Amino acid sequence: MIHSAPRVAARRQFRMHQMNTQTPAERELAELIVDSLNLPDRQAADIAPEAALFGGELGLDSIDALELSLAISKRYGVSLRSDAGDNKRAFSSLRALAAHIQQQRSE
Amino acid sequence: MRAVAWLGVVALVVLAHHYDRSGVLDALPALVAGLVGAMFALTLRRGRTPLIARAIAAIDGAELLSDAGVARYARRLTGIWAVYQFALAGAAALLALHAHGWLALPLHTTPAAFGLLWLPVALALLFIGEFAVRPWLLPQAPRHNLFGFFVKLIRCWPQLLRDAPAQLHWSARREGGGRFAMRLLIAIGLRLGRPVARILLYPITLYFFFRRGPERRASRAFLSRAFGKPASTAAVLRHLHCYAATILDRAFLLARSTRGFDIRIYGLDQVETQIAPGRGVLLLGAHIGSFEALRVLADARSDLRVRFVMDRGQTPALTELLHALNPAVAQMVIDVRGDGADIALAMRDAAQDGALIGVLGDRARPGEATRAADFLGAPAQFPVAPYLIASALELPVVLSFGLYRGGNRYDVYFETLAERIVIPRAERAARLAEWTQRYAARLQHYTQLDPYNWFNLYDFWHRPAADRVVRDASLGGAV
């Protein structure tokens, strides 16, 4: 099947939109991040779901990871384990973190 | 050692001269000049530091050599000295042949006179001549007076014979032979007892003194600063001995706990009042004396859990040996080589267990965030992570230092630094400056109680600039 050019563009646009739009759960987590880390001049809505949380534009560090883990366990009752080894992945982006929390809660 | 060897050589030459009939000794001036020339020439090989460059590094500091003009001058002058010595050696050789009638030259001097008079005069001429014209040839070189320069050169002479290694971060220095000897000593000590091992500490101290130049110099520099006057060689030896003794005792403290030691505890109540279920306490120590002496706590209160945040990678062989002695202790270690977030989360878990968490607050790892604080009269960099973690986990911070006081005695001090550290993000910079300074002030106090307990045997005040990273609060390593 041959796609017409406008349809391809529309689909790409839709995918871009999906990548840049927070789900409700991600939005809630983004608000928790901004509140608990007390990030100045940063809106929860501005955190791109797939952008790097640490070292990247947001520039969080290991102390932030600690504070965030405390806030997450308070809010969601989920403890990010220190020995799990998948923290790097869990903390890689807003989307990954939200998915990780979701998965832990359902276990 | 070296002095004895030189005396031996001189005695040998005098004896040989007395009994020498064959004239072999006439070859000595040529031999000496040739050897010294070769010594200069060999340092010009690829990958070596030219001898004059080593002298500049020793006298004026290695930074000067980063100036391309200075480095070029050092290399050329080393070449000139080599050629000059070879020329003198050639002249001396000709003279020796002449003296034995193998060559007929219009000369009126003997090899002995050449060696004792003309050779030193020729060397002095080049030395003084170069010194006199240096300000024109190399205006950027620091000025010295001739005599002072000569004395400094003689003092640093042994250092010039070794190829000066580039300044490495302390954590990049490998475990040396001295530490291998320590491991051997520990093995002996555990079998034959502490008194036997302590006798062996003396030769090990000497070995360390002669073989570990950077540590020896760091010790001398530190003691001079701590005492406010130049430290003697005896003080440096005592310092290194104290260092070796505490490493040996770590083995005994781990294998046999505090049995056989006279450990006096000051301020135990300061820790006890901070202990609360499910909260934990941060015990903030330093690389002074023996943190292992804090094991006394475990003896005093067997219900307490203790975790140590430490770098297993720094002295892997030694650490492995010590941990083999007490596997339970190995379980207590949170290794800082891990991922930053993992370390922080492991400390969170320990705190939620109500554990005492031991952290050393004086050394920063490469890449770890630090703040400058005044320490013994000059600013030094201190890691900031302990205060941020204490703030995040709402931990009380108790300073803990175990000082070695000779024999089998340790004095362990506990002192509350803060019942609660609060560091709001907006005030991070100011609060961290304040807490590192408070820590540095107390560390200075305990260091001055007994400077021989200072075991940061590298230049604590001047780290290579690369590890002063600006990122705000990283525990080192990317998250």
Question: What would the pLDDT profile of B410-426 be if each residue is shown by its tens digit?
Answer: 999 999 999 999 998 88
**Residue A13 counted as domain residue:** no
pLDDT at B473: 42
Between positions 421 and 450 of B, the ones with CB within 8 A of A are 424-426
Q: Which CATH number goes with the domain that contains A59?
A: 1.10.1200.10
Query: Hey, are the CB atoms on A62 and B341 less than 8 Å from each other?
Result: yes
**Residue A62 counted as domain residue:** yes
Task: State mean pLDDT over B266-280.
Answer: 86
Query: Hey, are the CB atoms on B479 and A40 less than 8 Å from each other?
Result: no
Closest chain B residue to A61, measured at CA = B474
**Residue A14 counted as domain residue:** no
Average pLDDT across chain A, whole number? 77
Query: Hey, are the CB atoms on B341 and A67 less than 8 Å from each other?
Result: no
Task: State mean pLDDT over B100-125.
Answer: 79
**Residue A6 counted as domain residue:** no
**pLDDT at residue B2 above 70?**
no
Task: State mean pLDDT over A76-98.
Answer: 77
**pLDDT at residue B170 above 50?**
no
Closest chain B residue to A41, measured at CA = B426
pLDDT at A59: 65
What total of structural domains would you count in chain A? 1
Contacts of A81 in chain B (CB under 8 A): 345
pLDDT at B168: 43
User: Which residue among A61, A67, A82 places its CB closest to the CB of B479?
Assistant: A61
Task: State mean pLDDT over B109-127.
Answer: 83
User: Which residue among A37, A64, A66 places its CB closest to the CB of B345?
Assistant: A66
Task: State mean pLDDT over B35-55.
Answer: 84
Residue A18's pLDDT band (boundaries 50, 70, 90)? low
pLDDT at B180: 66
pLDDT at B438: 97
Q: Provide the percentage of residues in chain A whose pLDDT is more than 70.
A: 74
Task: State mean pLDDT over B19-46.
Answer: 79
**pLDDT at residue B466 above 50?**
no
Residue B373's pLDDT band (boundaries 50, 70, 90)? very high
Residue B176's pLDDT band (boundaries 50, 70, 90)? low
Between positions 47 and 76 of A, the ones with CB within 8 A of B are 54-55, 60-67, 69-70
**pLDDT at residue B186 above 90?**
no
pLDDT at B410: 93
> Can you give the C-alpha Rg of chain B in angstroms?
29
Closest chain A residue to B476, measured at CA = A62
Q: Which tokens sit at B12? A: 């040998």
Residue A83's pLDDT band (boundaries 50, 70, 90)? low
Contact status, residue B92 vs residue B114, Cβ threshold 8 Å? yes
Residue B479's pLDDT band (boundaries 50, 70, 90)? very low
Pick the range with the lowest mean pLDDT from A16-25, B148-157, B208-217, B443-452. Answer: A16-25
Task: State mean pLDDT over B85-105.
Answer: 82
Query: Hey, are the CB atoms on B392 and A70 less than 8 Å from each other?
Result: yes
pLDDT at A17: 62
**pLDDT at residue A34 above 90?**
no
pLDDT at B5: 67
**B345 near A CB under 8 A:** yes
Closest chain A residue to B386, measured at CA = A63
Closest chain B residue to A92, measured at CA = B479
**pLDDT at residue B474 above 50?**
no
Contacts of A70 in chain B (CB under 8 A): 348, 392-393
**pLDDT at residue B279 above 60?**
yes
Pick the range with the lowest mean pLDDT from A11-25, B26-40, B184-198, B362-376. Answer: A11-25
**pLDDT at residue A64 above 80?**
yes
Contacts of B341 in chain A (CB under 8 A): 54, 62, 65-66, 69, 87-88, 91
**B359 near A CB under 8 A:** no
User: Which residue among B343, B393, B425 places its CB closest to the CB of A62?
Assistant: B343
- Could you give the CA distance from residue B6 to residue B15 in angstroms, rounded to a whole number? 14
Comparison of pLDDT for B59 and B476, the residue scoring more: B59
Q: Provide the percentage of residues in chain B whose pLDDT is more than 70.
A: 86
Comparison of pLDDT for B2 and B366, the residue scoring more: B366
User: Which residue among A39, A55, A70 places its CB closest to the CB of B478?
Assistant: A55
Query: Hey, are the CB atoms on B345 and A65 less than 8 Å from each other?
Result: yes
Q: Which amino acid is at B82?
A: A
Q: Residue written as tokens 């209160």?
A: B301
Average pLDDT across chain B, whole number? 82
pLDDT at B387: 95
Closest chain A residue to B479, measured at CA = A62
Task: State mean pLDDT over B195-202.
Answer: 88
Q: SS3 sequence, chain B? A: CHHHHHHHHHHHHHHHHHHCCCCHHHHHHHHHHHHHHHHHHHCCCCCCCCHHHHHHHHHHCHHHHHCHHHHHHHHHHHHHHHHHHHHHHHHHHHHHHHHCCCCCCCCCCCHHHHHHHHHHHHHHHHHHHHHHHHHHHCCCCCCCCHHHHHHHHHHCHHHHHCCCCCCCCHHHCCCCHHHHHHHHHHHHHHHHCHHHHHHHHHHHHHHHHHHCHHHHHHHHHHHHHHHCCCCCHHHHHHHHHHHHHHHHHHHHHHHHCCCCCEEEEECHHHHHCCCCCCCCEEEEECCEECHHHHHHHHHHCCCCCEEEEECCCCCHHHHHHHHHHCHHHHHCEEECCCCHHHHHHHHHHHHHCCCEEEEECCCCCCCCEEEEEEECCEEEEEECHHHHHHHHHCCCEEEEEEEECCCCEEEEEEEEEECCCCCCHHHHHHHHHHHHHHHHHHHHHHHHHCHHHECCCCCCCCCCHHHCECCCCCCCCCC
**pLDDT at residue B179 above 80?**
no
- Could you give the CA distance from residue B131 to residue B153 in angstroms, rounded to a whole number? 13
**pLDDT at residue A79 above 50?**
yes
What ipTM was estimated for this complex?
A: 0.76
Query: Hey, are the CB atoms on A54 and B389 less than 8 Å from each other?
Result: no
Query: Hey, are the CB atoms on B425 and A61 less than 8 Å from each other?
Result: no
Comparison of pLDDT for B470 and B23, the residue scoring more: B23
Query: Hey, are the CB atoms on A65 and B425 less than 8 Å from each other?
Result: no
**pLDDT at residue B467 above 70?**
no
**pLDDT at residue B468 above 60?**
no
**pLDDT at residue B296 above 80?**
no
**Residue A11 counted as domain residue:** no
For chain B, the structural domain boundaries read 2-164, 173-241, 262-467
Q: What angle do CA B214, B216, B222 make, to 5 degrees?
A: 100
Residue B465's pLDDT band (boundaries 50, 70, 90)? very low
Closest chain B residue to A53, measured at CA = B479
pLDDT at B255: 81
Task: State mean pLDDT over B455-473.
Answer: 63
**Residue A2 counted as domain residue:** no
**What residue numbers bound the domain in which A89 lies?**
22-106
Between positions 4 and 43 of A, the ones with CB within 8 A of B are 37-40
Contacts of A80 in chain B (CB under 8 A): 345
**pLDDT at residue B478 above 70?**
no
**Residue A45 counted as domain residue:** yes
**pLDDT at residue B173 above 70?**
no
Comparison of pLDDT for B61 and B19, the residue scoring more: B61
pLDDT at B322: 72
**pLDDT at residue B158 above 80?**
no
**Residue A97 counted as domain residue:** yes
